[in-house]
């Protein structure tokens, strides 16, 4: 049996108190995103998708999934996702990215897509600085890791650039805005898998390519 190409989907989700107002929409959107990944795996049978999912706030990080097959993932609900406290974004990124990096050491046939979703700037990290994360991102971008930053209520592009992340999306903090954001993300994710199949560059233009497709329609 031919070995499949591994695609690791690492999702880092803000669970700080300010996310409470959009909690229901985030839960619904995340569950639809998981279904999208499961559908992509069927659409691209040569790829094997895994999901690692970390939520974070000032109380710590919750590793809800780690390299779990996409087909076996369960939905989250308001018992799983409970926004509270502050936003230690750098610690959450450092913890989860390094954990996945260590697990993939020695492997070569894989791609990693890291998705960060937050509604505010870093304000509580103790272990990692912005510069630490920037160095880590720059190192891994050389080895088929793609980073995306999705945010609202702060200067999304400025923060992402400071972390060497060039794939960004700003969304409106309401139900319609979140629905639109997740729909665009899902389309981008399918296009990402198409690029892997075609051996195209996956490091940049993650969201822009779907915008071009929309204009052609």
Report the SS3 class of residue 44: coil
Mean pLDDT of the chain: 94
What pLDDT was estimated at residue 65?
96
Mean pLDDT of 136-152: 98
Distances (CA, A) of 121 to 130, 151, 158: 11, 9, 10
Extract the runs of DSSP E, i.e. beta strands, from the chain.
5-14, 47-57, 60-69, 110-118, 145-151, 167-170
pLDDT at 129 exceeding the cut of 70: yes
Partners of residue 8 on adjacent β-strands: 50, 112
Q: Tell me the two tokens of residue 161.
A: 């650039």
What pLDDT was estimated at residue 215?
45
Boundaries of every domain in the chain: 5-216
pLDDT at 202 exceeding the cut of 60: yes
What pLDDT was estimated at residue 74?
86
What pLDDT was estimated at residue 208?
87
pLDDT at 212 exceeding the cut of 80: no
pLDDT tens figures, 26-70 = 999 999 999 999 999 999 999 999 999 999 999 999 999 999 999
CATH architecture assignment, domain 5-216: 3-Layer(aba) Sandwich (3.40)
For residue 112, what are the contacts with CB-CB under 8 A and spacing of at least 6? Answer: 7, 8, 10, 100, 104, 140, 144, 145, 146
How far apart CA 174 and CA 49 sit, in angstroms, is 30
How far apart CA 122 and CA 158 sit, in angstroms, is 12
What pLDDT was estimated at residue 216?
43
Extract the runs of DSSP E, i.e. beta strands, from 15-157.
47-57, 60-69, 110-118, 145-151
């Amino acid at each position: 049996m031919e070995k499949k190409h591994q695609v690791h989907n690492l999702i880092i989700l803000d669970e700080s108190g300010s996310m409470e107002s959009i909690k229901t929409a985030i839960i619904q959107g995340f569950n639809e995103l998981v279904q999208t990944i499961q559908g992509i795996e069927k659409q691209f049978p040569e790829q094997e998708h895994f999901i690692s999912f970390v939520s974070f706030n000032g109380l710590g990080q919750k590793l809800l999934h780690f390299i779990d097959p996409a087909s076996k993932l369960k939905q989250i609900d308001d018992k799983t996702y409970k926004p509270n406290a502050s936003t230690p974004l750098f610690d959450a990124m450092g913890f989860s990215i390094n954990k996945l990096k260590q697990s993939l050491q020695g492997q070569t046939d894989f791609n990693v897509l890291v998705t960060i979703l937050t509604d505010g700037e870093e304000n509580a990290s103790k272990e990692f600085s912005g510069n630490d994360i920037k160095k880590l991102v720059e190192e891994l971008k050389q080895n088929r890791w793609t980073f995306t930053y999705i945010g609202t209520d702060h200067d999304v592009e400025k923060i992402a650039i400071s972390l060497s992340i060039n794939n960004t999306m700003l969304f409106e903090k309401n139900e319609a805005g979140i629905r639109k954001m997740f729909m665009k993300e899902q389309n981008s994710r399918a296009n990402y898998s198409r690029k892997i199949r075609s051996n195209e560059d996956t490091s940049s233009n993650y969201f822009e390519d779907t915008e071009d497709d929309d204009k052609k329609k």
